[in-house]
Structure 1
Amino acid sequence: MLLAIDTSTEWSGLALYNAAGVQAEAMWRSGRQHTEQLLTQLDLLCRQLGVKPADLATVGVATGPGSWAGLRVGMSLAKALVVAQGIPIIGVPTTDVWAWSWRHVEQTLLVVIRLGRGRYAIAQYAAVDQPCAAPSAVQVYELAAVPVMDALYLGDIDAELQAHLGSVGHWATPADNVRRPAALAELAWARLADGAVDDVVGLEPIYLSSPVRGELPSGLSYGATLL
């Protein structure tokens, strides 16, 4: 069983995935309460399926870019599970996760993730499996100054950002714009099949600035039992 963990933004998500596909998925608006809510949601999800820590064979984790605090919580939990269970870890960029649900669209995708203080991470995809460039951080006025005409905008798109961008592209509806942890799980599962696992020590979130090593979530220690 593969566990997917995504705490990149104010929306968090978990998914359980195996050879038969998605077994369970949970998404919720966590705001800044990632630490307080993540373990509770994971415990609930696993209990519903009768999944125990020993049943986990791999952990996939969204690596960002995104919220500093959120990324630290998700990465710390993922690493704690991997170390405790002796299983592989696979990091997947959050922009890849967002774009994956639109992989069949023959249109340029622009994923926008709010970083705070008027800054956004952007990643442009001509094809979902190959971003045009690594994600970069820009101010909102810079994003508006270099529009991508006719692109489909995904991510943290609110009314204020739409007003800045004007009518330069197309916007996914709120329901279509959900970043699904099942997509993260599917991407991680494919990379596992290719043997593309990450080093648990070397894997770090994408902060788009100086990385900060995160602390473990409150109440969690390496080797801890979750369920």
Structure 2
Amino acid sequence: MMVLGIETATRAASVALVSEEEILAEYILSGVKSHAEQLLRGIDQILSDTGKSLTECAGIAVSVGPGSFTGLRIGVSTAKALAWAANLPIVGISTLRAMAANIPHAAYPICPVLDARKREVYTALYKWVEGELQAVIPEQVVSAADMIHQLDRSLKIIFIGNGSRLYQGMIQEQFGKQAEFSPQSHDCPRASTVASLGLKRLLAQQFDLVQTLVPTYLRPSDAEINWSQKHGSRSVYLPENN
């Protein structure tokens, strides 16, 4: 079984082909150009280089957020279009869960932290239990101070993600030696991890519906906030690209 993985939640987007035995290929897309410019080209390239076709895939796994609003829209809409065209099942994978899965079978809880701007972070807390990644604190968007307040400072915790770098001083001040930081190479969610998590769900027949799969934003966009302020909370905001 082979799965195409798509990850566009952060600036360093990626695509991957993963089987039950190995990572066949994974390409990191440059942060210089937009995801819209590179994503389909990257998918075409990885299929060409591996001598595979989309119809050989058992399904498509895509990171659904939280993360960059624009990046997620591009990634999810592309994955849905490909799944629809090739009649393939699709699964949406949490970006934060994929980040935590970058540290397999860790002995300590893992706290992925993505910079959400506005002095906030996207975060959650996970731990490995009998080979499965379980959520201890659900996904949320909060200030770094609120994130720290929710965590048990008596426990050793592994922090991962660009938000953990941004607020490393604050975290170390509160946790001291109980805070561990993953290597910077682990900071970005990876398409290969998204694909591997998706593979497990596909094997378990846990599909999402192409028609209803949407990104997980956790908070309204600036455009939605401005619209509500201008038109009132009962008005419905319709994005231009809908």
- Normalising by structure 1, report the TM-score: 0.85
Identify the residue that residue 155 of structure 1 maps to in structure 2: 161
CA–CA separation in structure 2 for the residues paired with 1:201 and 1:113: 28
Q: 1:81 to 1:129 in 2, by over 3 A?
A: same
Counterpart amino acid of residue 209 in structure 1: R
Counterpart amino acid of residue 122 in structure 2: A
Identify the residue that residue 180 of structure 1 maps to in structure 2: 190
Confirm or deny: 8 A CA contact 2:161 2:186 kept in the other structure: no
Identify the residue that residue 209 of structure 2 maps to in structure 1: 199
Residue of 147, 161, 164 corresponding to 2:170: 164
Higher relative contact order (Cα pairs below 8 Å, separated by 6+ residues)? 1
Matched, 1:143 2:153: no
Larger-gyration structure (1/2): 2
Confirm or deny: 8 A CA contact 1:143 1:165 kept in the other structure: no
1:46: how far off? 1.4
Identify the residue that residue 55 of structure 1 maps to in structure 2: 56
**Unmatched 5+ stretches in structure 1:** 217-227
CA–CA separation in structure 1 for the residues paired with 2:149 and 2:51: 51
CA–CA separation in structure 1 for the residues paired with 2:209 and 2:113: 28
Q: 1:134 to 1:214 in 2, by over 3 A?
A: farther
1:89: how far off? 0.3
For the aligned residues, what is the CA RMSD? 2.3
CA–CA separation in structure 2 for the residues paired with 1:204 and 1:210: 14
SS in 2 for 1:188: helix
Identify the residue that residue 228 of structure 2 maps to in structure 1: none
Identify the residue that residue 98 of structure 1 maps to in structure 2: 99
The alignment covers a number of residue pairs equal to: 216
SS in 1 for 2:207: coil
Identify the residue that residue 208 of structure 1 maps to in structure 2: 218
Q: Deviations over 1:98-127 (max 9, x none)?
A: 111323111011111122222211101133
Counterpart amino acid of residue 190 in structure 2: R
Q: 1:143 to 1:108 in 2, by over 3 A?
A: same
Q: Identify which range, 42-51 or 172-181, moves more after superposition.
A: 172-181
**Unmatched 5+ stretches in structure 2:** 222-237
Counterpart amino acid of residue 74 in structure 1: G
Q: 1:99 to 1:158 in 2, by over 3 A?
A: closer
- Normalising by structure 2, report the TM-score: 0.80
Identify the residue that residue 77 of structure 1 maps to in structure 2: 78
